[in-house]
Amino acid sequence: MTDRLAARYRRFAEQEARGRSPLYEACAFGVADDARLLRILAELPGRKQQPNLLFAALRVACGMPRDWPDFRKKFLAHTNDIIAIIGTRVTQTNEPGRCAVLLPVLRCLHQPLALIEVGSSAGLCLQLDRYGYDYDGVHVGRESPAPVFPCHAEPGTPIPDRVPEIAWRAGMDLNPLDLRDASDVAWLEALVWPDQAERLERLRLAMEVARVTPARVRAGDLTTDLPALLAEAPVGPTIVVFHSAVLGYVTDPAKREEFARTVFDHAAVWICHEVPSVFPEIAARAARPGPAGSFLLAVNGHPVAWTDPHGAWIDWLEPH
Ligand SMILES: C[S@@+](CC[C@H](N)C(=O)[O-])C[C@H]1O[C@@H](n2cnc3c(N)ncnc32)[C@H](O)[C@@H]1O
């Protein structure tokens, strides 16, 4: 049991944290080699053993660790508090930087759009027309004080000339986070990895935007409650259902397929931005494989680009 858990933390260190967060890489290797910590974590249900969840919970309970020895000391001193946070929270990282890779697809659609995001967390990706973007020096959208998301676009990417026109927007999440609630905000901030001060700063600016013009995010399960939300969308605008880093949490592949069928049945445009393993048959149709750890962007089941999971780059697959 602890062997599998150790392998999970080692994989996280090598494949997710390496090159992105030296602190998380060191802590994940530390956990993987620590029999005492592994025994404690092994008592938790599998979905609660996620490295991201543990690291964010530790930061909320006792602040940012300096290094692995400090992490271990804090964990052992505050185990009960950390386990309690793990018990009540889930990973709900809301990364508005992902909007930068959604924009090229959204701008190609017939405007205006009625946007539905499933798994929207605090709804920051629903604000995509209220942010700015920097595609290798080409600015699109708002200027500072709105957040400006940098995105390196490989040749062939249809860089949008402006932000999409949004006529209506709504989100759905199992547990919508509330930007007026200090503990939800603290949780969102703790989910941003350390060593990423600019990302945290952009998250804070995006939260400011969303506080001024909140988007409605209702509580619901994408596997059962999507038809009710689709029924609320106005007639006229192009209806788009999108999701980013969500379908991996729907562990039953049959339910993922059923969700996709629901979107098709309602003649909505389906934008899927996920790890490729979520819909392997879509990934198999990609013209070429993506780099390890990348997300696949697909429209109506057709792969269109490999992307950085947080929206820092986009590599378009098809001639435009
Ligand atoms: C990692 S977060 C991603 C948030 C957002 N899509 C983004 O890209 O910033 C995943 C979100 O999906 C939500 N989620 C997971 N399973 C869901 C389901 N069956 N129905 C609705 N939301 C779900 C979680 O509550 C969480 O807020």
pLDDT digits over 266-278, tens only?
Answer: 999 999 999 999 9
pLDDT (mean) for 61-86: 97
Q: Is 127 in the pocket of ligand 1 (CB under 6 A)?
A: no
pLDDT band of residue 319 (cuts 50, 70, 90) is: low
In CATH, what class is 96-316?
Answer: alpha beta
For residue 247, the CA-to-ligand 1 centroid distance in Å is: 8
Q: Are 107 and 160 in contact (CB under 8 A)?
A: yes
pLDDT (mean) for 51-67: 97
Least confident piece of the model among 1-15, 68-82, 119-133: 1-15
Percent of the chain with pLDDT over 90: 95
Q: Is 95 in the pocket of ligand 1 (CB under 6 A)?
A: yes
Residue whose token pair is 């995010």: 217
pLDDT (mean) for 211-222: 97
Task: Answer yes or no: is pLDDT of 11 > 70.
Answer: yes
Q: What is Dmax (Cα atoms) for the chain?
A: 59
Percent of the chain with pLDDT over 70: 99
Residue 57: predicted pLDDT: 98
Task: Answer yes or no: is pLDDT of 33 > 80.
Answer: yes
- Domain boundaries along the sequence of the chain: 2-88, 96-316
Listed as own residue / partner, the contacts of 186-191 with beta carbons closer than 8 Å and 24 or more positions apart are 186/60, 187/56, 187/60, 187/89, 187/92, 188/92, 188/93, 188/94, 188/121, 188/122, 190/56, 190/57, 190/59, 190/60, 191/52, 191/56, 191/91, 191/92, 191/93, 191/94
| CA 57 – CA 151 distance, rounded (Å) | 29
Q: Which of 235, 245, 179 is nearest to 212 (CA)?
A: 179
Q: Is 58 in the pocket of ligand 1 (CB under 6 A)?
A: no
pLDDT band of residue 15 (cuts 50, 70, 90) is: confident
pLDDT (mean) for 233-252: 97
Task: Answer yes or no: is pLDDT of 306 > 70.
Answer: yes
Q: Is 125 in the pocket of ligand 1 (CB under 6 A)?
A: yes
Residue nearest to atom 26 of ligand 1 (CA): 92
Q: Is 174 in the pocket of ligand 1 (CB under 6 A)?
A: yes
pLDDT (mean) for 106-124: 97
| CA 48 – CA 50 distance, rounded (Å) | 6
Q: Phi and psi (nearest 5°) for 82?
A: -65, -45
pLDDT band of residue 16 (cuts 50, 70, 90) is: confident
Residue nearest to atom 11 of ligand 1 (CA): 119
Q: Is 94 in the pocket of ligand 1 (CB under 6 A)?
A: yes
For residue 300, the CA-to-ligand 1 centroid distance in Å is: 20
Residue 195: predicted pLDDT: 84
Least confident piece of the model among 9-23, 221-235, 257-271: 9-23
pLDDT band of residue 318 (cuts 50, 70, 90) is: confident
pLDDT (mean) for 223-252: 97
Q: Is 122 in the pocket of ligand 1 (CB under 6 A)?
A: no
For residue 174, the CA-to-ligand 1 centroid distance in Å is: 7
Segment 277-292, tens digit of pLDDT: 999 999 999 999 999 8
pLDDT (mean) for 166-175: 98
For residue 256, the CA-to-ligand 1 centroid distance in Å is: 13
Residue whose token pair is 């429209």: 299
- Two structure tokens written together for 136: 């290798």
Q: Is 294 in the pocket of ligand 1 (CB under 6 A)?
A: no
Residue whose token pair is 């509580």: 219
Q: What is the signed CA dihedral for 267, 272, 277, 279, rounded to 10 degrees?
A: 10
Rounded to the nearest integer, the mean pLDDT of the chain is 96
Q: Are 193 and 58 in contact (CB under 8 A)?
A: no
Q: Is 222 in the pocket of ligand 1 (CB under 6 A)?
A: yes
For residue 259, the CA-to-ligand 1 centroid distance in Å is: 14
| CA 275 – CA 297 distance, rounded (Å) | 9
pLDDT band of residue 320 (cuts 50, 70, 90) is: low
pLDDT (mean) for 224-246: 97
Residue nearest to atom 14 of ligand 1 (CA): 119
Q: Look up residue 60 and give its amino acid.
A: V
Task: Answer yes or no: is pLDDT of 120 > 80.
Answer: yes
Q: Phi and psi (nearest 5°) for 307?
A: -140, 160
Task: Answer yes or no: is pLDDT of 153 > 80.
Answer: yes
- Two structure tokens written together for 29: 């290797």
pLDDT band of residue 301 (cuts 50, 70, 90) is: very high
Q: Name the CA radius of gyration of the chain, rounded.
A: 20
